[in-house]
Amino acid sequence: MKILILTSGGDAPGMNMILATLYKKFGKNLYACRAGFKGLINNDIVPISEFEPMKYAKEAGSCIKCSRCPDFQTTEGFNKGLNNAKCFDAVIVLGGNGSYQGCCELNEKGVRTVFIPATIDNDVLISDYSQGYHTAVKACVSTIENTMPTMDAFDRCCIFEVMGRNCSRIANCVSLNYQCDYVVLKKKDLDYKKMAEIIKNKKELGQGSCILVKERIVKLQTIIRNLQKYNPDIEYRSCTVGYVQRGTNPTFIDLEYARSFAKLAINVLTKTKYSTAIVYKKDDFDIIYRNEEGGMHSLRKKGGQEVVESIIEN
């Protein structure tokens, strides 16, 4: 069986562990597109061994490279990619919603596909968990924990911005794991008067304060300018947590998820003929497969618990 794999969109901690686990199983039969769908379009495809996946197994990033590839959405780009994909028995796609879309389109044109949700944002519609989310949250909490002591030392206010694109999950989870003084998940949360009051009270107690803001809502400098109007005596600092969320080495939990996602992909490829998505739903792994009529089904529901357990456990 000749299998192709690609990592698409933003990289996610644990992608390398998925690649290494698949390489361990498929060896020279596993090929990789360099930089996601871009590599698929340009036929930039080599045996994955050239990227030394075992060396990077526990590291963040993607050793086979990522890209955002608008060209794959054009008819010309898609058809080029499709022709190259057809040279393989199956294509495994790691990525977020956009990558899933691309994966489904390949599948609709006759390519056998396996999708694995992998994005720090944890916003993949078909899965409750996507690879890398735990590490991203941990990186945010660590950054805040390691910054606040110095803010406290000066009674300063620090505004932290965390990634998550259009999804508040990371910011929300961070706020549950670090007692922030104020959290902005949406534009309507920007109540400067209320924020300023909280910051002032903290300063009066001889403490710094921590404001958490989800990215893509407002510029941090705008927040500072508005708060300064109320509290001109307070010193403000800002910290964009940003790419540390993606570049931090995967947590043990994310390494565990990565091995499970990969193991399930191996099992569905070797034991079934289905095109599938490996998902995590209601606190357990499941496999969503596409039948001949194009319908999507949960293997857990359709085949009963036993079938899915045997695929998951073996």
214 forms part of the interface with ligand F6P (CB under 6 A):
no
Q: Site for ligand F6P (CB under 6 A): which residue of 19, 63, 116, 121?
A: 121
Residue linked to tokens 């040279």: 87
Which stretch, 119-127, 144-152, 178-186, 192-200, contacts ligand F6P (CB under 6 A)? 119-127
Q: Site for ligand F6P (CB under 6 A): which residue of 69, 120, 171, 299?
A: 120
246 forms part of the interface with ligand F6P (CB under 6 A):
yes
Which residues in 179-198 contact ligand F6P (CB under 6 A)? none
CB of 258 to ligand F6P, least distance (A): 17
Proportion of the chain in helix, strand, coil states, percent, rounded to 5? 50, 20, 30
Tell me the sheet residues that pair with 131: 118
Q: In the complex with ligand F6P, which residue's Cβ is closer, 81 or 164?
A: 164
Q: Site for ligand F6P (CB under 6 A): which residue of 24, 58, 109, 165?
A: 165
In contact, 31 and 59? CB cutoff 8 Å:
no
Binding mask 48-87 for ligand F6P (x = CB under 6 A): --------------------x-------------------
Tell me the sheet residues that pair with 118: 131
Q: In the complex with ligand F6P, which residue's Cβ is closer, 45 or 137?
A: 137
CB of 126 to ligand F6P, least distance (A): 16
254 forms part of the interface with ligand F6P (CB under 6 A):
no
d(CA 120, CA 96): 9
In contact, 211 and 182? CB cutoff 8 Å:
yes
Residue linked to tokens 């009529």: 293
164 forms part of the interface with ligand F6P (CB under 6 A):
yes
Query: Computed from CA positions of residues 218, 222, 226, 228, in that sequence, does the dihedral angle turn out positive or negative?
Result: positive
CB of 123 to ligand F6P, least distance (A): 8
Residue 5's closest CA among 68, 91, 106, 118? 91
Count of positions on this chain that bind ligand F6P (CB under 6 A): 12
d(CA 65, CA 6): 8
Q: Site for ligand F6P (CB under 6 A): which residue of 6, 8, 10, 26?
A: 10
DSSP class of residue 289 equals: E
159 forms part of the interface with ligand F6P (CB under 6 A):
no
Residue linked to tokens 């529901």: 301
Q: Site for ligand F6P (CB under 6 A): which residue of 119, 130, 175, 275?
A: 119
Which of 77-87 are b and which e, b meaning 16 or more Cβ less than 10 Å from the residue's Cβ? bbebbbebbee
Residue linked to tokens 């899933």: 100
Which residues bind to ligand F6P, rule: CB under 6 A?
9-10, 68, 96, 119-121, 163-165, 215, 246
